[in-house]
Homo-oligomer: A and B are copies of this chain.
């Protein structure tokens, strides 16, 4: 029962800050102010400072702001990106393939170690550098790769059984693209990206 100290909302913003800070650094800016980061992140200086307070960072100085590199390092340390994260993906359809190709030649820190599908015509080949297996080989391959994260891109009606299988095989975190909430035990973290819901929301709020 570990106590979660950093709010999820803050974690989300930290991931964003890290990316923005890297852009900053690439532009040669070795230090910055909270209001500069806030502007890029579309939030407020107070929120930036509060977020940094949440991770126990107090390395800013009034007239020079924060050291870009130092701040990046601190965020990386908090997010614990010391080791490469191994991911397995189930559902080699349109969306699954888009994700495979994106992570194949980008995204340091994350590797899709293997992909699976129940359709024989999608398996036993390499897509975007990722080996694709039949679902029946899941348990075996996951032991080989020692992946702890899973991505679900199968149709909604099969998503729960895929999640169950992942958890059975030791997956601890799941990103679910199927448009239904899945039941998972407390020790597994799950997040859902629901593209259709996001569009409906935009349609409503734009109206």
- List residues of A whose CB falls within 8 A of some B CB: 4, 8, 11-12, 15-16, 19-20, 40-42, 79-81, 85, 87, 93-95, 97-99, 101-102, 107, 109-110, 148-149, 151, 172-175, 179-181, 183, 188-191, 193-207
Contact A174 B202 (CB under 8 A): yes
Q: For the complex of A and B, list the 6 residue pairs with the smallest distance between their C-beta atoms, beginning with the closest.
A: A173-B206, A94-B98, A42-B181, A173-B202, A172-B206, A189-B205
14 A-B pairs whose Cβ atoms sit less than 8 Å apart in the complex: A11-B204, A16-B197, A19-B180, A42-B181, A99-B195, A107-B196, A110-B203, A173-B207, A175-B195, A175-B198, A188-B206, A191-B198, A191-B202, A191-B205
Question: Which of chain B's residues have a CB closer than 8 A to the CB of A180?
Answer: 19-20, 40
B199 contacts A149, C-beta separation under 8 Å: yes
Beyond the given A175-B199, A189-B205, A189-B206, please list 15 additional residue pairs across the A-B interface where CB-CB is below 8 A: A4-B205, A8-B201, A8-B205, A15-B200, A40-B181, A79-B203, A85-B203, A93-B98, A94-B97, A94-B101, A149-B199, A173-B202, A175-B198, A189-B202, A191-B202
In the complex, chain B residues whose CB is within 8 Å of the CB of A202: 149, 173-175, 189-191
A149: B residues at CB distance < 8 A: 199, 202-203, 206
Report A10 CB to chain B, min CB distance, Å.
11
Whether the pair B87, A95 counts as a contact (CB closer than 8 A) is no
Bound-complex Cα distance A4 to B16 (A): 28
